[in-house]
Chain A
Amino acid sequence: MNLPRAEELWSKLASAGLTVGGVPDATEAHTPWYVRAMLGIAGFLAAGFLLGFVGVGFAFVMKSHTASLSVGFMVIVAAYGVFRMAPRNDFSSMFGLAVSFAGQALVAFGILGFFERHLTGATPWVVLGAIEATLAVVMPNFIHRVVAAFGSGFAFAYACEISGVRGVETGGLAAVVAFAWLQEMRLGKFHALVAPIGYGLTLAFIEVEGSSAFRHSMAPLFEVRQASAAYPWIGEALVAAALLASVWVLLRRAGRQARDARTILALIAAAVVGAASFRAPGVAGGLMVVLLGFGNGNRVLVGLGIAALLVYVSGYYYVLDATLLAKSGVLAATGAVLLAVRRVVLKFVTPQEGASA
């Protein structure tokens, strides 16, 4: 941010009595998401070559799960040291990122191989999820936190999936995502921690929600053990509940009272969209992300939610447990519900005179 703009913003805040001291330095605060995405992709590319270096130069590391695990942890600790020693240096940050990604790959390789011989089922994924969650909190780097939070969310979701509680993971992730973004301001003192973890978990939620319906429809073809047919319903019910809770908090933030007819109408509209999501998975989750993004003034989150909705509709074509005719009916009903909800929202919940007030 340039100095005049920062000073203008500062004077606005000072007039409102919200400032302490003089204008702080603002030049280093903003890095656009696509620059971070570019650096993240480059980090993965460099990590791939580092793994090649380890694989060719220290082949024993790849051959032994214990060695892989030990070296992986050592490398991650080294990356932490690099981040801590020179947090503002671009080269060291990039180096730490690549080294840590390579270390995490070694740890994942070691854990999955190690548990394969001793324990089966969801345990290795729970352990991986816990490690990634720890890294998301501990590592002082935005991109690293996003990736680790995504890894953690994905690993826990996969653990739920293979332990048989299929569908519940989407609801759990939806609840965590809603909590992270709705509490963003309350947790503002820890924004450097909360924001990247929020993005990582949102990405994990979008991925898991997008693929859960497809995986569930494929399950009868490939798996012997059948999960209860109720689980996807429980998952969507939890997502719908997260949507309702988000709408409720956003309404409260806008100063709406619980007994206000418009509040009740808005909640009913959200419940109807949530109900539509039982047959068209992803609608409630995608809309929740979009609403959270707009409510927080976060355009990146809005874009993620819209992209998720487009992916869900495209992916829905390939879900196998319903005919295209049935899916067509579901989509037609969902479209009609969304347009009806729009009519209700514009006419009763946010009427023109209220908006201009």
Chain B
Amino acid sequence: MGDRQILFAWFERGAITDVGAALGVAQVLPGAREWRAFLDRLLLWSGVMALAAAVVFFVAHNWSYLGRYAKFGLVELFVLAAVIAYWGFDPERAAGKASLLLASILLGALLALFGQTYQTGADTWELFATWAALMLPWVLVGRFAGLWMLWIATANVAIVLYFLVFPGLFGMLFSTERQLWTLFAFNTVALAGWELGARHFAWLDERWGPRLLALAGGATIALLMLQAIFEWREASGAAPLAYLAWLGCAYAAYRVRVRDLFVLAGGCLSIIVVVSALLVKGLLETRADAGGFLLIALAVIAMAAASGWWLKRVAAEVRA
């Protein structure tokens, strides 16, 4: 598929006579085998996700005509069926992994039903934390990147909800900062773990996972940096150091060690936003004049152009 753009570019220049045939020769277009494998997975995953959402919606409706035992029985039956399906199918095949993912989502629905029925007084963050804890054994045996990502996402939600319930002694401001630090630390550790794990386990060696985690970690440290710029009196001074350290590590990991353009592009965008924020703070905070706006606009354009130029050069190396 990576040859697509080049073939169209050659066709536009008149270097090849039939782009459709060229795409076929270069095996850019799928054949019968690829179509079969693709439709198998597409319909399997979309069907399973629709069924999982159906159970979640059902629990959320809290249907009064169905007694509590019937509801529990129904959801537990679904969980059991999904687990049995996992054992029944080959666990290494897509159908097995889809069944385990379904069971993990249904486990969350079951916990939500428990909280809804018995009104235990537990906070919402506890639901997600318990879900993540109970799901963990399945995640460990599943050998499946998608399931790990579900677990990480559930833990992220638990962290966010925890800090909404426990804002701390100093109210929402410090709560937001602690929340962001915790999310940053968790996602960065998860990223490092994923990258290390990918060296040993082939099933973890998919770039979308580390990219999502790098996006989450990079976004939270950039938000902390923005907070440090605009609310520097209240914010701790650790954010600039951590931000620079994160950029340095990202450069070392994704430019020097492996080349991942996605993370580098995210890093460039983060630098553009942070430098713009510094300029806004320095030039516009006391007096918003036209020259300040123009200068910042030109700085953003220059930084973006330089980033684009650099990233294209790295892209050429990545393909080399």
Q: Which residues of A contact B (CB under 8 A)?
A: 1-2, 5-6, 9, 12-13, 16, 18-21, 24, 26-27, 29-32, 34-35, 37-39, 41-43, 45-47, 49-50, 52-53, 56-58, 90-91, 93-95, 98, 185-186, 188-192, 195, 254, 280, 283, 287, 290, 294-299, 309-310, 313, 316-317, 323-325, 327-332, 334-339, 341-342, 345-346, 350, 352, 354-357
Q: By the criterion CB–CB under 8 Å, are A45 and B48 in contact? A: no
Chain B residue nearest to A305 (CB atoms) is: B42
Q: By the criterion CB–CB under 8 Å, are B43 and A342 in contact? A: yes
Q: By the criterion CB–CB under 8 Å, are B307 and A38 in contact? A: yes
- B47 interface neighbour in A37, A327, A336, Cβ under 8 Å: A336
| Contact sample, A vs B, 15 pairs, CB 8 Å cutoff | A16-B25, A30-B2, A31-B315, A42-B301, A45-B276, A53-B290, A57-B293, A90-B308, A94-B301, A254-B32, A294-B42, A295-B30, A297-B1, A324-B61, A328-B61
Minimal beta-carbon separation of A275 from chain B (angstroms): 14
Minimal beta-carbon separation of B180 from chain A (angstroms): 21
Minimal beta-carbon separation of A14 from chain B (angstroms): 9
In the bound complex, CA of A238 to CA of B320 (Å): 45
Q: Which residues of B contact A (CB under 8 A)?
A: 1-23, 25-26, 28-30, 32-33, 35-36, 38-40, 42-44, 46-51, 53-55, 57-58, 60-61, 63, 261-262, 265-266, 268-269, 272-273, 276, 288-291, 293-294, 296-297, 300-309, 311-312, 315-316, 319-320
In the bound complex, CA of A131 to CA of B266 (Å): 32
- B28 interface neighbour in A297, A309, A342, Cβ under 8 Å: A297
Q: By the criterion CB–CB under 8 Å, are B54 and A342 in contact? A: no
Q: Report chain A residues within 8 Å CB of B308.
A: 35, 38-39, 90, 93-94
Q: By the criterion CB–CB under 8 Å, are A335 and B288 in contact? A: no
Minimal beta-carbon separation of B12 from chain A (angstroms): 6
Known: A12-B25, A53-B297. 12 other contacts (CB 8 A): A38-B308, A39-B307, A46-B300, A49-B300, A58-B290, A188-B12, A189-B11, A297-B29, A309-B49, A324-B61, A336-B51, A352-B36
Q: Report chain A residues within 8 Å CB of B25.
A: 12-13, 16, 18
Q: By the criterion CB–CB under 8 Å, are B288 and A52 in contact? A: yes
In the bound complex, CA of A192 to CA of B61 (Å): 49
Q: Report chain A residues within 8 Å CB of B16.
A: 13, 18-20
Q: By the criterion CB–CB under 8 Å, are A185 and B36 in contact? A: no
Q: By the criterion CB–CB under 8 Å, are B268 and A13 in contact? A: no
Q: Report chain A residues within 8 Å CB of B9.
A: 26, 29, 191
Q: By the criterion CB–CB under 8 Å, are A30 and B29 in contact? A: no
Q: Report chain A residues within 8 Å CB of B48.
A: 335, 339
Minimal beta-carbon separation of A24 from chain B (angstroms): 5
The 10 A-B pairs of least Cβ separation, nearest first, read: A57-B290, A335-B50, A342-B43, A338-B47, A42-B304, A324-B61, A49-B297, A335-B51, A331-B54, A52-B293
Q: By the criterion CB–CB under 8 Å, are B311 and A35 in contact? A: yes
Q: By the criterion CB–CB under 8 Å, are A18 and B315 in contact? A: no
Q: Report chain B residues within 8 Å CB of A297.
A: 1, 4, 23, 28-30
Minimal beta-carbon separation of A249 from chain B (angstroms): 13
- B36 interface neighbour in A42, A334, A355, Cβ under 8 Å: A355
- Contact A324 to B300, CB < 8 A, known contacts A20-B14, A297-B23: no
In the bound complex, CA of A328 to CA of B57 (Å): 5
Q: Report chain A residues within 8 Å CB of B12.
A: 188-192
- A345 interface neighbour in B30, B43, B49, B265, Cβ under 8 Å: B43
Q: Report chain B residues within 8 Å CB of A191.
A: 8-9, 11-12, 19
Chain A residue nearest to B34 (CB atoms) is: A294
Q: By the criterion CB–CB under 8 Å, are B26 and A9 in contact? A: yes
Q: By the criterion CB–CB under 8 Å, are B319 and A94 in contact? A: no
Q: Report chain A residues within 8 Å CB of B311.
A: 35, 38
Q: By the criterion CB–CB under 8 Å, are A323 and B315 in contact? A: no
Minimal beta-carbon separation of A285 from chain B (angstroms): 13
Q: By the criterion CB–CB under 8 Å, are B319 and A30 in contact? A: yes
In the bound complex, CA of A355 to CA of B307 (Å): 44
Minimal beta-carbon separation of B109 from chain A (angstroms): 11
- Contact A6 to B6, CB < 8 A, known contacts A45-B273, A46-B301, A325-B61: yes
- Contact A195 to B50, CB < 8 A, known contacts A18-B16, A38-B307, A57-B290: no
